[in-house]
Amino acid sequence: MWDMRSGTCHRTLAGHAEQITSLQFDDCNIVTGGLDGTVKIWDMRSGGCMTTIVADGPVHSMAFDERMLYIGTTESMIKVR
């Protein structure tokens, strides 16, 4: 996580075993999906990983709203959680 005003790195979110392919955030959470087949939900304030969801394969896209998390994998499927 970078401070755009100063250009300094404040926090690194470490946890994916392979490349991150998708990212979305709101005021409280950062959600990342990766080629390691996981989606991780991070607390923006603490930087801690709150939840890890294992997908059926590498995650190529994901999105969330107040009620749902949508995960697109290489299996040509969209999972809704």
CATH number of the domain enclosing 54: 2.40.10.480
Determine the structural domain holding residue 71 and report its residue range: 15-80
Q: Residue 63: inside a domain, yes or no?
A: yes
Q: 2-6, 36-40, 53-57 — which one is most confidently predicted on average?
A: 36-40
Task: Tell me what pLDDT residue 20 has.
Answer: 95
pTM: predicted TM-score of the whole model, two decimal places? 0.85
- Over residues 17-36, the mean pLDDT reads 94
Q: Residue 10: inside a domain, yes or no?
A: no
Task: Tell me what pLDDT residue 59 has.
Answer: 94
* pLDDT at residue 77 tops 70: no
CA–CA gap between residue 33 and residue 6 (Å, rounded): 28
Task: Tell me what pLDDT residue 36 has.
Answer: 96
- Over residues 54-59, the mean pLDDT reads 90
* Number of domains the chain contains: 1
Contacts of 46 (CB under 8 A, 6+ apart): none
Q: Residue 20: inside a domain, yes or no?
A: yes
Task: Tell me what pLDDT residue 74 has.
Answer: 79
Q: Residue 6: inside a domain, yes or no?
A: no
Q: Which of 63, 50, 59 is nearest to 24 (CA)?
A: 63
